[in-house]
Structure 1
Amino acid sequence: MRNHFIFADSTKCVGCLSCELACAAAYAGISFEEAYTTKLPLISRNRVVKIDGKTAPLQCMHCESPSCLALCPHGVIEKMDDFIKIHEEACVGCSCCSLVCPYGAITMRQQEERRVAVKCNLCFNRVEGPACIRVCTTSAISVVDYDEYTKLMAQKG
């Protein structure tokens, strides 16, 4: 089975940051609406970037042969079904994974009294699927696998 990842169409993204807020809310265990008023610390596993006038969320590409998994000296990164997962609860914060990620999709965040590597885990524990996709008003983001991605890129020409 090919790995799945979030595909962002920069021609549709308007940079509203709703995907970031939805991601952070999902990981905090609250609704998207509650995220606007909560006092909880919200940490998104994606971030919207702007390059050459185009915006799109930057997220883990769930590589077929991930360098983060190969280099993690503590074994807290795992290939699960069709995505790559960081077991944040076991992360010791060494930053090796974030240094080798070719997409810059792994960030180190302070959680309580320690640093932890965080990245998109495709909302693996959510029956509804990735929270970011659900709130995207322009349908700029979707889940694809590498075969679908290749077809989409060929259509763009």
Structure 2
Amino acid sequence: MSDICVAYWSGTGNTEAMAQAIGAGITAAGKSADVVPMETISPADLKDQAVWVLGCPAMGAEELEDGTVEPFVSELEGFASGKKVALFGSYDWGDGEWMRTWAERMEQAGAQIVGGEGLICHGTPGADAIDECESLGREVAGL
């Protein structure tokens, strides 16, 4: 795997666009990025990495997608202590509760959240959101 893995799940393409922009920011900062759908890797692939970037849109009543992301994150919690984790995702309704909850879970597992409590974007990411994603990628690359 490359220097930094950006693992995401996307239902409509919005979170995928965010992942690609984060990867571009990592690359622009001089690191290499693997931007991969979560269903194509195992949580164990991240075990030896010091920095993770994880993305998931809000689902249902502001929760993580339960078929792929929830089991992936549950397994990561077992070895998240001491890791630096950046979280991101898109939403269509609500106020970002799913991201705050996700960040709290990772912190309770011992991870340090990078970039605040997670980067969220309402709907399709526009130019400003893409810029924020690229900035997060550059921040992650500097760790």
Both proteins in one fold, TM over 0.5: no
Higher-Rg structure is 1
User: Which structure features the higher share of helix residues?
Assistant: 2
Normalising by structure 1, we get a TM-score of: 0.25
Normalising by structure 2, we get a TM-score of: 0.26
